[in-house]
Structures are given as C-alpha cells and as structure tokens.
C-alpha cells in the first residue's frame, strides 16, 4: 500500500518518516475539504479566506517547524516542507499566507526577538489569533532592498518610522507588521508595528492577475511612533531580512512542487479521458512526451527538496543551496503549469480545471522572495566567486 | 465513560481497484487505504462524548494486517487514548459473526459502557458487526444513529428510518451503536496529536489466540467487477405506439 498522497515516481515515501507521511496526509485532506470549496469565490473577489487562519493555527500548521516552547508544533523541516507542498497544492496564496506568518514573522521573532516579544507574539501567531506581515520591499527597491528609504529615528523611548512598503502579503489583515527600516546610522533593523498604531496605514492593492487569493498591501508609515522596545534586539543589517527569506525560500521550494503536482495530475487524468481522432489524447506521442517531462521534472524537484530538507535538519543547509532550489523548482512548476494548460485545450483556461489559476499564481512566486534572476545570481556568485549584482 | 470505537481500514474512495491473481481479493500494493468513512464519524462522536463528560477513555479497536496500524495511529492522533489491534494476515475474515466474535473476545474484559462503530464498511458493507458485537456482550443495540444524547445510565439516540422518518430510542447502557455518516464533523489530527500518537499504547493480539472456538460462517470465493451492460433500443412510431412499447418493456423488466 502507498501512503504518500500524490505523484511519487521515485518512492519519496521511503525517505519520509511515519509522522511526516501522516502530516502530509492530514494537510492534503484538510486543504481538499476545507479550502478548495472556497477557492473560486475568493479567486474571483481577490480576497483571502481569513476564516481558515484559526483552523490552520489549531492544527499547528503556522510556524510548524519552530520549537514547541512558544506554542509551535516543532515538526521536522521536511514535515514543514510537506505542509507547504499541500497548502500550495491548493493555492499559492494559501501557502504564501503560511510562509509569511511562519518564516517571515514568527521565525525572526523567535530568532532575533526579546523574551517579551516572543512571549507576547509567538503563541498568538502560532494559534492564528494574530496575523503577521513582513515589510521589506519598497516602490523603488525590490531586488535591491538594501537601498531602502524607510527610516527609523530614535526619540526618547520611541522610534519614529517613515517610509512606504509595497507588495506586502497579509498587509491589511496583519495585527503585527515586521517593518525593516534604516536607523540613524544607516543600519537596517526590524521593527514591530502593531495594527492601529497612529501614523500606520495598510492599503489593499487590487487588480492582481496572480496570487488573487492573497492579501497584498501597501504599508504607509508617516511619523509612526512605536515604543523603542519594539525593535528586534538580536539582529542588525541586511542579514536580518535575508535570513528570513532563506527560510521562506526553503518553504517555497517545496510548495511549488505541490502546485506542479496538482497541474500534472489534472493534465494526466484529462489526457486519459479526452478523446480526439478516436483515441485519448494521452495516446499521442506529443502528449506523452509532455506528461513524461512533467513527471520527470516533478520527481527531480522532489529529490532536491528532500535532500535540502535533510541538510536543513542537520544544520548544514547553505543559503545558496536554498536559492538554487527556489530558482529551479519554481521554474519547473511554472513550466509544468503552462504545459498542463496546453494539454487541457480550451478547458485549460477555465477556473473549474484549476491549472490556469496555478499558472498565474506561479508568476508571482517566480518573482517574489528574490526573483528567479537574483537567486540565479546568488548561485552564480557562489560558484564563481564573482559577484554579479551587489 | 469507557468508549470503544471499532475502526476498519478500507480502500479509499478514489482508489484505483485491481484484482489479485486468483480474483479472491483486491491487489493491495498500489491502493491507498483510509479509515472507513462512517467509522471516522463514530470516532468523532466518541471523542465529543468524552469531552462532554470530561472523563473516561476512548479506545480504538481494529482487526487487520500490519497496514491497519496506520489507521489506529490516525485515530490516536485525533485524540483516542489507546488502541487494540487483532492481527491477521491474508485471507482476511469477512464474516461479520466471526469478526464480532473476535472483537467480543478481545474486549470483553474492558467492560465498555459504549461501543460505537460505523453503520457499515465501505468495502464489504454488511452493516452487522456492531450489532452482533453488542448482542454477544449483552448490550443494547441501535443502528443508523444520527444523534446521541447521554444521560446517566442511559443513552437516547435518533435513528434514521426510511423515507425521511426518524425515531428516538432510549436504551440502557452498556450499548453498542452504529453511527451514520454526517452525524458530526470529524476533526483533523493536529500536528501535536500526530507527534504524540507514537507514545500511546497499541495492544496487539494474535487472531489465533482468540479464534479457537469461533466459527467462520462465510468466506469470499470470488470477487469481480460489475459487468457493464448497456443496450440501447430505439423505439419508433406514433406517441401511442411508443407508450405501449415502453409500458411493455417496463413490465417485462420489473
Ligand atoms: C504578490 C506579491 C506578494 C509579495 N509579497 C511581499 C511581501 O510580503 N513582503 C515583501 O517585502 N515583498 C513582497 N513582494 C515583493 C517582491 O519580493 C518583489 O517584487 C521582488 O523582490 C522583485 O522586486 P521588483 O518587483 O521591484 O522587481 P525589480 O527588482 O524591479 O526587478 C525587475 C526585473 O529585473 C530583474 N533584475 C533586477 N536586478 C537585477 C540584476 N542585478 N541582474 C539581473 N536582473 C535583475 C529582476 O530579476 C526582474 O526580472 C511581493 C510581490 C508580489 C508580486
């Protein structure tokens, strides 16, 4: 009997523990029954189903790989990857929510926060009682966040924040925004800004043709005063936000395999069912080649992801390896989604068949958390010793 | 309140079924197995009763080969306290009397107040195990239950009858009740539940140890796919002729 829910051509299952498989099964089931019935409505309305957040929290799916001390589940990094895989098999927007909450907000608070910050926020973020967002990108600084304009000025017991952050996932939903800004010494630091703080506004960005089931916002900080103890004490400089991105990219490198798998499985079924010229289209060599390439690429991505996960568990994962996996697996998923759309013919553009939604979503995933190009250059710099972009 | 939940592992509803070489059972190696649907409602009902009464334990009991361990673990991950598995190997028992007798022998000393099971298994569909087990242990029994209300030494249950009718029955405990799907919304196992399930006890009992005096009254001779027969007959003529012909066909076939 097999237990891995989904395509498993190279017996990935044998590389997973009983717990990891049970977790994958549970999240698969959860997404199928609790999230998928909501997808069309939210996709059409460009909204995120906020009601699911508490359920994610109850099951322990938020920041699941952080230690149990502050309310997280403390699962293995591979189990965390499988969670991302199953969430993104539903929709990249759902996985993005969890990535931001877990890797970009809970992780830095856990790693760089004060004891008070951890006690105040981590249990609430883990349970879904509070939502977090991560504000790094600015209108004029995307791939080059170190050029950021946002500033924090110390004034007595406070910091005064000024600046604009753009493309911020969970922005209008967030109870807590982790905003990266430069202090008077031009050093990047992380600031915790609570919802409702005077001078802080989050404005929803609409008109996205990708990642529609996700809240994306512009954060505006105009003389926003926060208590000085809201700075993350444990980190200074760009390695703060970059280390968070490494965590999130790790999750993405698993997540997109889920999106690709959804598209591949839909296309495979369709190719067996759809008859043209008296034969299923899957009986034609051109279609078979497409399907074979899809499953081959998915298999390679799975093997890269599992090895990356095991390296992470041993503390041996390098951020350049994560960049390679993000770059490679997202590009793979983007291609698979597009090929699936081809195989489905006209039905491929319909929302009922899901593949085009995934295809559009993956355009965002290709660009955020370090674009495909920037992650390529990270690996390029690593192997040549020659920096191409900094 | 000591509650026993009978759990059967069956091929999941979207499993691609193939038969084994001598057509006596399905090929298992490529099939995904899952907890029988109505059993997961029975489990949820048990967990909710335990939560309401605030005491007692929920014990899941299953019969089957090693793969069944996963179904038990899943139930433990959702909150059951311990498991009992009667270990068997192929060919599996398919006779509800034999199965119920094995369960009776395995759990009689546990003195359960309540036994909950699904109304039927999604593979063999006999729908008898829970009732026979109740009889064997001298318990009250009820089938097709869609609501339960516990009060002291008795339980009131709402049974689903035919044509949209329902029946409320009050029965003394101990009772064995078979649960209809849809009675509640089964929970998902949380990550913490999954990780702590390993630490819970699953008692293994060899079927041989129990089966000495238990007869098997029924066995599977042959399994096969339903034959798909589709015949189209075009009826032509005036409306009267078509109606007459149709009536004739319907009368001939029913
Ligand atoms: C839906 C969505 C959600 C997002 N969520 C968040 C969030 O929660 N928090 C957050 O901080 N940000 C978020 N982002 C922002 C995202 O991280 C940025 O869009 C990304 O970093 C790229 O920046 P940019 O869009 O300004 O593109 P640019 O940096 O302007 O890049 C444009 C193009 O130029 C290429 N390029 C740039 N520099 C180089 C170079 N040196 N060499 C070669 N090519 C180069 C890029 O690869 C890209 O192809 C989100 C974006 C989207 C679309």
Confidence of residue A1 (pLDDT cuts 50, 70, 90): low
Q: Which pair of structure tokens corresponds to residue B69?
A: 């361990």
- For ligand 1, whether the C-beta of A374 sits within 6 Å is yes
Q: Which pair of structure tokens corresponds to residue A341?
A: 């759309």
Alpha-carbon gap, residue A98 to A60, rounded angstroms: 11
Which residue range is the domain that position B93 belongs to?
2-225
What is the arithmetic mean of pLDDT over A102-110? 98
Residue B100 Cα to ligand 1 midpoint, Å, equals: 63
Tell which atom from ligand 1 comes closest to the C-alpha of A135: 11
* B28 part of contact set with chain A, CB < 8 Å: yes
Strand B175-179 and strand B114-118: the pairing is parallel
Active-site residues of A, by number, are: 369
Nearest by CB to B73, which of A22, A29, A61? A22
- Could you say which residues from 106 to 165 on chain B have a Cβ atom under 8 Å away from some Cβ of chain A? none
- For ligand 1, whether the C-beta of A105 sits within 6 Å is no
CATH number at residue B22: 3.40.50.620
Residue B172 Cα to ligand 1 midpoint, Å, equals: 68
**Interface pTM, i.e. ipTM:** 0.92
> What are the φ and ψ backbone dihedral angles of A362, each rounded to 5 degrees?
-65, -15
Residue B196 pLDDT: 95
Question: A337-370, pLDDT tens digit by residue?
Answer: 999 999 999 999 999 999 999 999 999 999 999 9
Domain assignment present for residue B252? The answer is no
What is the arithmetic mean of pLDDT over A380-387? 97
Domain assignment present for residue B241? The answer is no
Question: Which position has the token pair 């001939």?
Answer: B252
Residue ranges of chain B with pLDDT lower than 50? Answer: none
Domain assignment present for residue B248? The answer is no
- Residue B99 near residue B93, CB atoms below 8 Å: yes
Q: Of A278, A388, A290, which Cα lies nearest the Cα of A344?
A: A290
Residue A350 pLDDT: 98
- Residue A227 near residue A158, CB atoms below 8 Å: yes
Domain assignment present for residue B250? The answer is no
Residue A200 Cα to ligand 1 midpoint, Å, equals: 23
Domain assignment present for residue B47? The answer is yes
- Contact across the interface for A22 and B188, Cβ inside 8 Å: no
Helix (H, G, I), strand (E, B) or coil at B40: helix
* A386 part of contact set with chain B, CB < 8 Å: no
* Predicted confidence (pLDDT) at residue A256 exceeds the cutoff of 80: yes
Q: Which pair of structure tokens corresponds to residue B100?
A: 């119920």
The alpha carbon dihedral of A122, A124, A128, A131 has a sign of: negative
Nearest by CB to A19, which of B28, B190, B195? B195
Name the burial class of residue A385, with classes exposed (0-12), middle (13-18) and buried (19+) by CB atoms within 10 angstroms of its CB: exposed
Domain assignment present for residue B67? The answer is yes
Split into its structural domains, chain B has a count of: 1
Strand B2-6 and strand B57-64: the pairing is parallel
Ligand 1 pocket test: which of A367, A370, A387 has the largest number of ligand atoms within 8 Å of its C-beta? A367
Contacts (Cβ under 8 Å, ≥6 apart) of B199: none
C-alpha separations of B89 from A25, B33, B92, B114, B207 in Å:
25, 16, 6, 28, 9
* B20 part of contact set with chain A, CB < 8 Å: no
C-alpha separations of A72 from A25, A49, A89, A116, A306 in Å:
20, 22, 23, 17, 22
- Could you say which residues from 55 to 114 on chain B have a Cβ atom under 8 Å away from some Cβ of chain A? 67, 70, 73-74, 77
Alpha-carbon gap, residue A245 to A328, rounded angstroms: 16
Q: With beta carbons under 8 A apart, name residues in chain A contacting B194.
A: 19, 22-23, 26
Residue B44 Cα to ligand 1 midpoint, Å, equals: 46
Q: Which pair of structure tokens corresponds to residue B228?
A: 């798909």
* A54 part of contact set with chain B, CB < 8 Å: no
Question: A184-230, pLDDT tens digit by residue?
Answer: 999 999 999 999 999 999 999 999 999 999 999 999 999 999 999 99
- Contact across the interface for A3 and B70, Cβ inside 8 Å: yes
Q: With beta carbons under 8 A apart, name residues in chain A contacting B30.
A: 1-2
Mean pLDDT of chain A: 97
pTM of the model: 0.93
- Contact across the interface for B32 and A5, Cβ inside 8 Å: yes
Question: A264-318, pLDDT tens digit by residue?
Answer: 999 999 999 999 999 999 999 999 999 999 999 999 999 999 999 999 999 999 9
Q: Which pair of structure tokens corresponds to residue A245?
A: 């991105």
Tell which atom from ligand 1 comes closest to the C-alpha of A143: 29
Rounded to a whole number of angstroms, the distance from the CA of A135 to the nearest CA of chain B is 29
Helix (H) or strand (E) holding B157: strand B154-160
- For ligand 1, whether the C-beta of A103 sits within 6 Å is no
* Predicted confidence (pLDDT) at residue A389 exceeds the cutoff of 90: no
* B16 part of contact set with chain A, CB < 8 Å: no
Alpha-carbon gap, residue B33 to B11, rounded angstroms: 4
The alpha carbon dihedral of A346, A207, A134, A62 has a sign of: negative
Nearest by CB to A1, which of B28, B188, B192? B28
Residue B213 pLDDT: 78
- Residue B156 near residue B149, CB atoms below 8 Å: yes
Ligand 1 pocket test: which of A137, A212, A219 has the largest number of ligand atoms within 8 Å of its C-beta? A137
User: Looking at residue A249, what DSSP letter applies?
Assistant: H
Range scoring the smallest mean pLDDT among A75-79, A234-238, B188-192, B246-250? B246-250
Q: Which pair of structure tokens corresponds to residue A237?
A: 């400089």
Alpha-carbon gap, residue A25 to A19, rounded angstroms: 10
Helix (H) or strand (E) holding B207: helix B207-211
- For ligand 1, whether the C-beta of A367 sits within 6 Å is yes
- For ligand 1, whether the C-beta of A177 sits within 6 Å is no
* Predicted confidence (pLDDT) at residue A13 exceeds the cutoff of 90: yes
* B32 part of contact set with chain A, CB < 8 Å: yes
- Contact across the interface for A23 and B29, Cβ inside 8 Å: no
Domain assignment present for residue B152? The answer is yes
Domain assignment present for residue B50? The answer is yes
* Predicted confidence (pLDDT) at residue A59 exceeds the cutoff of 70: yes
- Could you say which residues from 68 to 87 on chain A have a Cβ atom under 8 Å away from some Cβ of chain B? 68, 73-75, 79
* A159 part of contact set with chain B, CB < 8 Å: no
- For ligand 1, whether the C-beta of A332 sits within 6 Å is no
């Amino acid at each position: 009997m097999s237990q891995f829910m989904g395509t498993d051509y190279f017996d990935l299952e044998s590389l997973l523990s009983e717990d990891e498989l049970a977790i994958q099964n549970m999240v698969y089931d959860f997404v199928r029954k609790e999230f998928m019935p909501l997808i069309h409505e939210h996709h059409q309305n460009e909204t995120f189903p906020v009601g699911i957040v508490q359920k994610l929290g109850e099951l322990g799916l938020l920041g699941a790989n952080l230690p149990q001390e502050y309310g997280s589940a403390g699962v293995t990094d591979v189990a965390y990857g499988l969670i991302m895989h199953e969430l993104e098999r539903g929709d990249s927007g759902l996985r993005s929510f969890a990535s931001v909450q877990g890797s970009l907000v809970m992780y830095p608070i856990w790693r760089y926060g004060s004891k008070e910050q951890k006690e105040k926020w981590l249990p609430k973020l883990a349970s879904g009682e509070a939502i977090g967002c991560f504000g790094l990108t600015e209108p004029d600084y995307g791939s080059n966040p170190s050029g950021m304009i946002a500033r924090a000025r110390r004034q007595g017991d406070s910091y005064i924040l000024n600046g604009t952050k753009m493309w911020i996932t969970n922005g209008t939903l967030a109870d807590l925004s982790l905003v990266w800004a430069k202090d008077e010494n031009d050093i990047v630091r992380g600031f915790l800004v609570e919802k409702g703080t005077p001078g802080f506004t989050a404005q929803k960005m609409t008109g996205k043709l990708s990642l529609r089931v996700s809240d994306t916002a512009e954060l505006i900080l105009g003389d926003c005063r926060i208590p000085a103890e809201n700075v993350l004490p444990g980190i200074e400089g760009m390695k703060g936000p970059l280390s968070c991105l490494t965590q999130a990219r790790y999750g993405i490198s698993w997540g997109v395999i889920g999106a690709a798998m959804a598209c591949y499985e839909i296309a495979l079924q369709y190719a067996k069912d759809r008859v043209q010229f008296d034969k299923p289209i899957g009986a034609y060599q051109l279609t078979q080649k497409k399907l074979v390439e899809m499953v081959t690429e998915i298999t390679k991505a799975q093997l890269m992801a599992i090895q990356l996960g095991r390296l992470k568990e041993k503390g041996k994962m390098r951020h350049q390896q994560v960049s390679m996996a993000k770059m490679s697996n997202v590009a793979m998923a983007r291609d698979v989604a597009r090929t699936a759309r081809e195989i489905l013919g006209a039905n491929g553009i319909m929302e009922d068949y899901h593949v085009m939604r995934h295809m559009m979503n993956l355009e965002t995933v290709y660009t955020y958390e370090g674009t495909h190009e920037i992650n390529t250059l990270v690996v390029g710099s690593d192997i040549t010793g020659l920096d191409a972009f900094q | 309140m000591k509650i026993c939940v009978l759990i059967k592992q069956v091929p999941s509803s979207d499993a691609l079924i193939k038969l084994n070489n001598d057509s006596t059972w399905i090929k298992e190696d490529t099939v995904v197995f899952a907890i029988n649907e109505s059993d997961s409602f029975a489990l949820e009902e048990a967990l909710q009763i335990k939560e309401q009464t605030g005491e007692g334990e929920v014990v899941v009991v299953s019969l089957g080969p090693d793969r069944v361990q996963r179904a038990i673990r899943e139930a433990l991950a959702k909150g059951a306290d311990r498991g009992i598995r009667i270990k068997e190997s192929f060919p599996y028992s398919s006779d509800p009397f034999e199965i119920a007798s094995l369960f009776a022998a395995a759990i009689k000393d546990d003195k359960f107040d309540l036994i909950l099971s699904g109304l039927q298994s999604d593979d063999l569909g006999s729908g008898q195990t829970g009732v026979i087990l109740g009889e064997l242990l001298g318990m009250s029994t009820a089938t097709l239950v869609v609501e339960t209300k516990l009060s002291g030494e008795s339980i009131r249950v709402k049974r689903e009858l035919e044509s949209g009718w329902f029946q409320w029955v009050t029965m003394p405990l101990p009772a064995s009740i078979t649960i209809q799907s849809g009675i509640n919304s089964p929970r998902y196992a949380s990550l913490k539940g999954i990780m702590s399930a390993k630490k819970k006890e699953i008692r293994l009992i060899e079927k041989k140890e129990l089966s000495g005096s238990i007869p098997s009254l029924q066995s599977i001779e042959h399994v096969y796919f339903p034959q798909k027969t589709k015949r189209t007959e075009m009826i032509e003529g005036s409306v009267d002729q078509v109606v007459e012909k149709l009536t004739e066909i319907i009368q001939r076939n029913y």
